[in-house]
C-alpha cells in the first residue's frame, strides 16, 4: 500500500543489520512510505548506539544477531539512552528471543522475511508510541464532550470546539462518538461521509495516514470529520459483539491514531457509557461534561462526573463542567450550582437562539461571522484548552462497579 500524501515531519529511521543486503531491502521497503525517512545505517551494536546519539532517530529497525554486542543488548542501551523506539527483526521466531527483546524494551518483533506493509505497520505502531510522540512534541490533544442528559447541547459544543480549534492550514479532527444515535454531519452538512463502521471494516483504525485521507472535510476546511454509523445496530461492529476481532478497542485505537497525526481532536461522546464511549472518554486527555442549569440535569451531571472520577481515574485537571443554555436575564446562582456539582463551572454558556437555526441550515455560526456571546465563550475555551499542548501520563481505568459481573 503506497500513501502519497505529503508528510510534514517524517519519522527518522535507523536501520541496523550486519548484512548490507538486508539493510538495502529495508531501505527500499521504507521508500514506499513517505512517513518514514531512513537517516542512517549501522552494522553492529556499538555503531547503532553511537548512531542513535548523533542522528536521534525516532525508530530503529534492529537485527537480533549482530557481531560483538548483539541486537538485544544494543536495544536495551538505545532505549535507555536515546528514547528511540526499537523494532527487532530476526530469522529466529522463538519465543525466548521474543521475550528477551521485549524485556530489553523493543516495541515489536518481526520474523524475516516480512512484507513492506508488515514492516511499515510495525514501525507505525512503534512510532505512534505516546512517549515518543511526546518527545517529538507532536502528539495531538483529545477533548471529549459528554452530555449529562439528552439535548443539553453536547454535540453543538463539540462541533464548535472543533471548528474553533481547527484552521484550513491545520484542521482539527471531529469525531462523532455517539455511536448509536450520532448525526453531527447534519450540523456540518458534509458528504461523502466516512463512518466508524466503515473505518473498522477497512482495517484503518491503526493506520493514521489512511484515516487522514479518508476523513471528509467540513466547516470550510477547518475540520476533518469521522461520522457515527448510519444505523444504531451498526455500532456493535465498532465496540460490541460484532467486532471483526473480539475485544479489540477500535475506538481507542482510532483516537490514538488521530492523536499521532498531531491535530486537536474533539470527540462528541454522546451520553451514556457503552464500551466505545468508555474508550473515548478514557483516551481523551480532557473531558467536558455538559449540563443545563436545571436540577435534574445537574443531578445527572453529578453521576457522570462520578463515573469519570471513580471509574476512569480522571482528576480535577482533566475535567471541565459546562453549563449551557442558561438565561442571561436570569442567571443561575453560580455558587450554589458549583456546590451541587462539587466543582467549578469552567464554561458558562447562555441561551443562543441563533444556534438551532444554524443547525437546521447546516451552516455553523462561526462561519457566518456573527457576533455571539455563546460563541466567544466557546472560542476562548478552545484557545485555552488546545494551547496547553501536552497531556500528562495516561490514567488506568480503575473500576466500573456495574461491570464486575462481566456484562
Ligand atoms: N446555548 C444554546 N442556546 C440555544 N439552543 C441551543 C444551545 N445549545 C444547543 N442548543 C440547541 O439545542 C438542541 C440540542 O443540542 P445538541 O444536539 O447539541 O444536544 P445534545 O446534548 O448533543 O443532544 P443529544 O442527547 O440528542 O445528543 C439543538 O437544536 C441545538 O441547536
Ligand atoms: Mg448529541
Is 301:153 a contact under the CB 8 Å cutoff? no
Q: Identify the pLDDT of residue 368.
A: 87
Give pLDDT, residue 401: 40
> Atom 15 in ligand 1: which residue has the minimum CA distance?
153
Question: Which of 155, 156, 185, 268 for a ligand 1 pocket mutation test, highest count of atoms within 8 Å of Cβ?
Answer: 156
Please choose from 145, 151, 274, 352 the residue to mutate so as to test ligand 1's pocket, defined by most ligand atoms within 8 A of CB: 151
Sheet holding 286-291, edge to edge: 216-218, 223-226, 172-176, 265-268, 142-147, 286-291, 319-326, 345-350
CA 273 – ligand 2 centroid, Å: 14
The β-bridge partners of 286 are 143
d(CA 52, CA 401): 46
Does residue 1 lie within any of the structural domains? no
- Is 346 in a helix, a strand, or coil? strand
Taking only the tens place, the pLDDT of each residue in 252-287 is 989 988 988 888 999 999 999 999 999 999 999 999
Average model confidence (pLDDT) for the chain?
88
Q: Give the closest residue (by CA) to ligand 1 atom 29.
A: 356
Sign of the C-alpha dihedral computed for residues 407, 310, 158 and 163 taken in this order: negative
Largest Cα separation within the chain, whole Å, is 78
Instruction: Specify the pLDDT at position 38.
Output: 96
Residue 389 in this model has a pLDDT that exceeds 90: no
2 lies in some domain = no
- Look at residue 92 and tell me whether its pLDDT is greater than 60: yes
pLDDT in tens, 108-124: 999 989 999 999 989 98
Here the CATH number for the domain that contains residue 236 is 3.40.50.300
Quote the pLDDT of residue 121: 87
Q: Which of 121, 136, 151 is at the close of a domain?
A: 136
Among the ranges given (64-78, 121-135, 364-378), the one the predictor scored with the smallest mean pLDDT: 121-135
Nearest CA to ligand 1 atom 23: 151
158 in any annotated domain: yes
Which atom number of ligand 1 is nearest to the Cα of residue 158? Answer: 18
Question: Is 151 found in the same domain as 96?
Answer: no
Same domain, 123 and 153: no
Q: 169 and 96 in one domain?
A: no
**Is the pLDDT assigned to residue 238 strictly greater than 60?**
yes
The answer to whether residue 192 scores a pLDDT higher than 80 is: no
Q: Which atom of ligand 1 is nearest to the CA of 290?
A: 21
Strands 216-218, 223-226: pairing is antiparallel
Mean of pLDDT values over 8-26: 91
Write out pLDDT tens, residues 307-334: 999 999 998 889 999 999 999 999 999 9
Is residue 119 included in any domain, yes or no? yes
User: How far, in Å, from the CA of 208 to the mean position of ligand 2?
Assistant: 26
| Mutation to probe ligand 1, out of 146, 148, 155 (largest number of atoms < 8 A from CB) | 155
- Are 86 and 156 within one domain? no
Q: How far is the CA of 139 from the CAs of 257, 259, 344, in angstroms?
A: 10, 6, 28
Q: Is residue 32 part of a domain?
A: yes
Task: Please tell me the distance between residue 12's alpha carbon and the centre of ligand 2 in angstroms.
Answer: 41
Residues 122 and 180 in one domain: no
Domain boundary (85, 103, 136) is at 136
- My answer on whether 119 and 172 are in the same domain is no
Q: Locate cell 455571539: which residue?
A: 372
Does residue 6 sit within a domain? no
Q: How many domains does the chain have?
A: 2
Q: What are 38-59's pLDDT values in tens digits? A: 999 999 999 999 999 999 998 9
Cα of 155 from ligand 2 centre, angstroms = 4
160 assigned to some structural domain: yes
The pLDDT assigned to 329 comes to 96
pLDDT of residue 396: 42
The answer on 156 and 69 residing in a single domain is: no
> Does the residue 5 lie in any domain?
no
Kindly indicate the confidence band of residue 13, based on its pLDDT and cuts at 50, 70 and 90.
very high
Shared domain for 132 and 275, answered yes or no, is no
Q: Quick one: 130 and 147 in the same domain?
A: no
Is the pLDDT reported for residue 397 higher than 60?
no
- pTM, full prediction: 0.74
Burial environment of residue 335 by CB neighbours within 10 A (0 to 12, 13 to 18, 19 or more): exposed
Ligand 1, residues at Cβ distance < 6 Å: 147, 150-156, 178, 270-271, 324-325, 349, 351-352, 355-356, 359, 374
Residue with cell 518514514: 36
* Unique residue bearing C-alpha cell 480503575: 398
Span from the CA of 339 to the centroid of ligand 1 (angstroms): 25
What is the pLDDT at residue 135?
Answer: 59
Same domain, 92 and 161: no
Claim to verify: residue 132 and residue 179 sit in the same structural domain: no
Range of the domain at 25: 11-136
* CATH code of 52's domain: 3.40.50.2300
The owner of cell 478514557 is 282
Sole residue written with cell 512510532: 127
Shared domain check, 327 and 210: yes
Task: Supply the pLDDT for residue 316.
Answer: 86
Question: What's the average model confidence in pLDDT over 364-382?
Answer: 92
| Whole-number Å distance between alpha carbons of 78 and 12 | 15
Protein residue with its CA nearest to atom 22 in ligand 1: 155
Q: Which of 96, 119, 136 is the last residue of a domain?
A: 136
Atom of ligand 1 nearest to the CA of 151: 23
Question: Quick one: which atom of ligand 1 is closest to the CA of 324?
Answer: 1
**Mean of pLDDT values over 125-144:** 74
Quote the pLDDT of residue 392: 39
Amino acid at each position: 500500500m503506497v500513501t502519497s500524501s505529503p508528510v510534514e515531519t517524517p519519522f527518522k529511521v535507523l536501520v541496523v543489520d550486519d548484512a548490507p543486503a538486508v539493510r538495502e531491502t529495508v531501505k527500499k521497503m521504507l521508500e514506499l512510505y513517505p512517513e518514514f525517512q531512513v537517516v542512517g545505517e549501522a552494522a553492529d551494536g556499538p555503531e547503532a548506539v553511537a548512531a542513535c546519539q548523533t542522528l536521534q532517530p525516532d525508530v530503529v529497525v534492529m537485527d537480533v544477531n549482530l557481531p560483538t554486542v548483539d541486537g538485544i543488548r544494543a536495544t536495551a542501551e538505545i532505549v535507555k539512552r536515546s528514547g528511540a523506539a526499537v523494532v527487532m527483526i530476526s530469522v529466529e521466531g522463538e519465543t525466548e528471543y521474543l521475550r528477551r527483546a521485549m524485556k530489553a524494551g523493543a516495541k515489536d518483533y518481526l520474523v524475516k522475511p516480512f512484507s513492506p506493509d508488515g514492516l511499515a505497520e510495525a514501525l507505525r505502531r512503534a512510532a505512534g508510541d505516546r512517549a515518543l510522540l511526546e518527545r517529538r512534541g507532536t502528539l495531538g490533544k483529545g477533548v471529549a464532550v459528554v452530555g449529562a442528559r439528552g439535548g443539553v447541547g453536547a454535540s453543538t459544543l463539540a462541533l464548535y470546539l472543533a471548528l474553533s480549534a481547527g484552521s484550513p492550514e491545520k484542521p482539527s479532527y471531529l469525531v462523532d462518538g455517539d455511536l448509536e444515535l450520532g448525526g453531527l454531519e447534519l450540523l456540518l452538512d458534509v458528504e461523502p461521509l466516512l463512518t466508524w463502521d466503515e473505518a473498522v471494516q477497512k482495517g484503518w483504525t491503526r493506520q493514521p495516514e489512511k484515516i487522514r485521507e479518508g476523513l471528509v472535510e467540513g466547516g470550510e476546511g477547518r475540520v476533518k470529520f469521522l461520522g457515527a454509523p448510519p444505523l444504531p445496530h451498526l455500532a456493535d461492529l465498532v465496540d460490541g459483539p460484532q467486532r471483526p476481532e473480539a475485544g479489540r478497542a477500535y475506538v481507542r485505537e482510532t483516537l490514538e491514531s488521530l492523536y499521532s497525526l498531531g491535530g486537536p481532536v474533539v470527540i462528541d461522546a454522546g451520553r451514556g457509557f457503552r464500551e466505545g464511549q468508555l474508550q473515548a472518554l478514557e483516551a481523551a486527555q480532557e473531558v467536558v461534561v455538559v449540563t443545563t442549569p436545571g436540577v435534574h440535569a445537574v443531578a445527572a451531571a453529578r453521576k457522570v462526573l462520578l463515573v469519570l472520577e471513580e471509574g476512569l481515574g480522571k482528576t480535577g485537571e482533566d475535567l471541565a463542567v459546562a453549563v449551557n443554555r442558561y438565561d442571561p436575564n436570569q442567571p443561575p446562582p453560580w455558587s450554589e450550582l458549583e456546590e451541587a456539582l462539587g466543582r467549578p463551572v469552567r464554561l458558562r454558556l447562555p441561551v443562543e437562539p441563533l444556534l438551532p437555526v444554524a443547525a437546521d441550515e447546516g451552516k455553523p455560526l462561526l462561519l457566518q461571522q456573527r457576533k455571539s456571546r455563546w460563541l466567544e465563550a466557546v472560542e476562548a475555551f478552545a484557545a485555552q484548552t488546545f494551547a496547553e499542548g501536552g497531556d500528562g501520563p495516561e490514567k488506568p481505568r480503575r473500576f466500573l462497579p456495574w461491570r464486575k459481573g462481566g456484562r
